[in-house]
A and B are shown apart, each in its own frame.
Chain A
């Protein structure tokens, strides 16, 4: 796992270097959405930040000595709680509760997954969510670009893990681990850049681009083609340009996206901000014809303006089949297979993968509601289980057509109890699947987690689908879809057949009758005309013959 983090950092650095290389020479180079500092405070001059710091929490205490409310604000957010109660479905979502089609769940695997928790030390269910110094300020605000949290470190800065985790990580590292420089990080703080957000959101699922399909390290330094808004030579928007944050509360969530924003342009007086296209562009876009603007009633902006998924040169995972995990070679060693590009296509720990780049989105009606298949919920194992069933239809008047990456998988479930199971995968213990490759032990350990459903002792694998709404990597108008991409037979919307789409749909019988009538009419007039010409000349001939006869 450590090597994955290493690769991620390498990718980040590589894109940064390449990004700077390809840019024209500016006096001030602003990268990854970093705002050229207009701050009234130079944090490197603060007494509290001179260090040395012996841990992440020590840095946070220093931050809180001035920013007294910051931790309290963060603690109210999903970044901290990993919980999100949905008012309309009643479901409790958030990473703490949901299942995903990748590593499955953080449950029973906390110390690995909480590398992306905005906190320090969540290694098991005893984590104290009320301790302010456990909030990790640096992961979002560090601008030294060397701050890092290792997978397996329970969210602590690299090199500052708790003794148990530190020893395990040090023992298993391929090369000596270098601890991060906390003083450098603390003194560098600034507003979050794409690199900060991307340190988790670009690499979710374990590696670059794995999860989303519209977010990966290519967005650290994107060009105009990849994203018209984040283009380093253009707008150079940071994530928070759209996800405008108030008191650490960040709008825009996959748990309940705004599928149709009818409020239009955001006013400074608006109570909350909306990370929607409409909040800047309004509901009527300049440059659109009237008819094109009317499309926003039924079509999300993303549907036309994000023509292709994973179009920054980084692949995304499209299939994860857990059912084949566990294969060993002749020597009893776990098998790993790669394709010609070097992507892992099989790993004994995880099963089979498929990767794709520049893939077409799939299109679905979406009203913004997502109904998760949570642990313990009865599933129908005769068809693919919707891990996060997206709701909406053509008829309901509130849905729009959205682009999705649909992640397909085979995930472990209990064929007796008919529910998904908690897999205990990561850990330095006898039951972790990634250590001992024993499903029974892993699932028994998983079932002991709070909130985990019962395990009958039997396991099987069920097909699953997870829906990832696509909203980043926005193309310019020139690269957006054209009418004929949908208004044609076998176009992009060929699968959405519950409504009439001009140019795609026609009633064959009506067209048949219509063209038959047109052809018969044409034949009729041609025949009539020909007869007229024939009789005309025949009469002329007869008249001529008659007059000749009279003469002779």
Chain B
């Protein structure tokens, strides 16, 4: 069995920090949205703001990392083998067939992953970023010349919609992490950085 370093230390730190931040932001965010009482509105709100800044900082680091290392190329979408991968999850996986895609350090994401992560990075995340920052700087709209161009309601709705999308992504992502053989292989790779295939 060959051992490849697939996930660098930065990538792993980025992944797990982001996971922690996204989950706590979801928990605090839905409390602010009025779904439940957990930490209390004041704590939830202040924490949500602080965590958001941490996530923004992390994202800036990650963007920098992606472009300086060329890692962004892992997210270029492709249709090659996409159908095979989809067929696999729809059928082959139950029959115990092998995954049609072989990971390597030059292309570590399968076509479905590429699409999903690209959707996260170019779809959900920017909506969360922009709506969240507008939300945060609501009091400065007048100074920024935004008054009259949008309403807090639209910003809040966009932010909520993106939060739901993030939650859906999170559920799918966590499940997909356990669709390998052995089931903990992906998890182990994301912790140690080595892929045992």
List residues of A whose CB falls within 8 A of some B CB: 289-292, 294, 297, 397, 482-484, 487-489, 499-500, 502-507, 510-511, 513-515, 517-518, 521-522, 524-525, 528-529, 531-532, 535-536, 539
User: In the complex the two chains form, is A514's CB within 8 Å of B41's CB?
Assistant: no
B49 touches A291 (CB 8 A): yes
- Shortest C-beta distance, A496 to chain B (Å), equals 13
B147: interface (CB < 8 Å): yes
Instruction: List B contacts of A531 (CB < 8 A).
Output: 94
What does the 1/0 interface line of B49-88 toward A look like (CB < 8 Å)? 1000000000000000000000000000000000000000
Q: Is there contact, CB below 8 Å, between B42 and A289?
A: yes
CB of B141 to closest CB in A, whole Å: 10
Q: Which among B15-23, B108-116, B153-161 touches the partner chain?
A: B153-161
Q: Which residues of B contact A291 (CB under 8 A)?
A: 45-46, 49
Q: Bound complex: CA of A281 vs CA of B168, how far in Å?
A: 46
A503's contact among B33, B93, B96, by CB below 8 Å, is which? B33
Could you list 7 A-B pairs, sorted by A, with CB under 8 Å?
Answer: A289-B42, A483-B40, A489-B34, A502-B33, A514-B160, A517-B165, A517-B168
Knowing A294-B139, A535-B94 touch, does A504 contact B45 (C-beta < 8 A)? no
Least CB distance from B23 to A in Å reads 14
- Neighbour of A514 across the interface among B40, B42, B164, CB < 8 A: B164
Residues of B within 8 A of A489 (CB): 34
**Given A517-B168, A521-B171, A522-B171, also A506-B34 (CB < 8 A):** yes
Contact of B171 among A499, A510, A514, A518 (CB under 8 A): A518
Q: Is the CB of A518 within 8 A of B167?
A: yes
Taking a contact as CB atoms closer than 8 A, the residue among B94, B163, B172 that contacts A525 in the complex is B172
Q: A residues within 8 A CB of B96?
A: 535-536, 539
In the complex, the answer to whether A521 meets B46 with C-beta atoms within 8 Å is no
- Closest B residue by C-beta to A397: B142
Question: How many residue pairs at the A-B interface have CB separations less than 8 Å?
Answer: 89
| 17 other A-B residue contacts (CB within 8 Å) besides A499-B152, A517-B165, A539-B95 | A290-B49, A294-B139, A397-B142, A483-B40, A483-B41, A487-B34, A487-B41, A499-B153, A500-B152, A502-B156, A503-B33, A506-B34, A510-B164, A521-B168, A521-B171, A528-B175, A531-B94
Chain A CB within 10 Å — which of B139, B165, B178, B179 has the most? B139
By a CB distance below 8 angstroms, the chain A residues around B171 are: 518, 521-522, 525
- B165 neighbours in A (Cβ, 8 Å): 517
Q: Is B192 an interface residue (CB 8 A)?
A: no
Q: Is B8 an interface residue (CB 8 A)?
A: no
Q: Which of B151, B171, B172 has the most CB of A within 10 A?
A: B171
Query: How far apart sit A483 and B34, CA to CA, in the bound complex (Å)?
Result: 12
Residues of B in contact with A, size category: 35 or more
Chain B residues with CB under 8 A of A511: 160
| Interface residue? B128 (CB, 8 A) | no
The yes or no answer to B190 lying at the interface (CB within 8 A) is no
- A483 and B42: CB pair below 8 A? yes
CA A379 to CA B128, docked complex, whole Å: 51
A26 to chain B, nearest CB (A): 38
Verify A397–B147 contact, CB threshold 8 A: yes
8 shortest interchain CB distances as A-B pairs? A514-B164, A483-B41, A525-B175, A500-B153, A535-B94, A500-B152, A294-B139, A503-B34
Q: Which of the listed residues B49, B96, B147 has the most CB atoms from chain A within 10 Å of its own CB?
A: B96
Q: How far does the alpha carbon of A529 sit from the alpha carbon of B46 in the complex, in Å?
A: 38
Q: In the complex the two chains form, is A514's CB within 8 Å of B161's CB? A: yes
Q: Please, how many angstroms separate the alpha-carbon atoms of A500 and B153 in the complex?
A: 5
A517 to B167, CA, bound (A): 9
Let me know if B34 and A529 touch, CB within 8 A. Answer: no
Question: How far does the Cβ of A32 sit from chain B's closest Cβ, in whole Å?
Answer: 36
In the complex, the chain B residue whose C-beta lies closest to that of A487 is B41
Whether B32 is near chain A, meaning CB under 8 Å from some CB there, is: yes
- Chain A's nearest CB lies how many Å from the CB of B37? 8
Residues of B within 8 A of A524 (CB): 172
Q: Are A518 and B175 in contact (CB under 8 A)?
A: no
User: Are A505 and B153 in contact (CB-based, < 8 A)?
Assistant: yes
Say yes or no: A500 contacts B172, CB within 8 Å: no
Contacts of B95 in A (CB 8 A): 535, 539
Interfacial chain A residues near B37, Cβ < 8 Å = 484
Q: In the docked arrangement, what's the CA distance between A524 and B168, Å? A: 11
Residues of B within 8 Å of A522, CB to CB, are: 171
| A529 & B160 in contact (Cβ 8 Å cutoff) | no
What's the least CB distance linking A263 to chain B, in Å?
A: 18
Residues of A within 8 A of B156 (CB): 500, 502, 505
CB–CB B172/A521 < 8 A: yes
- Given A483-B41, A525-B172, A535-B94, also A510-B157 (CB < 8 A): yes
Q: In the complex, which residues of chain B have a beta carbon less than 8 angstroms from the beta carbon of A532?
A: 93-94, 179
Closest to B49 in A: A291
> What separation, in Å, do the CA atoms of A103 and B137 have in the docked complex?
48
On whether the beta carbons of B32 and A502 are closer than 8 Å, the reply is yes
Q: How many whole Å from B32's CB to the nearest CB in chain A?
A: 6
CB A289 to nearest CB in B, in angstroms, measures 5
Please, which residue of chain B has its CB at the minimum distance from the CB of A501?
A: B152
Chain A residue with Cβ nearest B151:
A500
Residues of A within 8 A of B93 (CB): 532
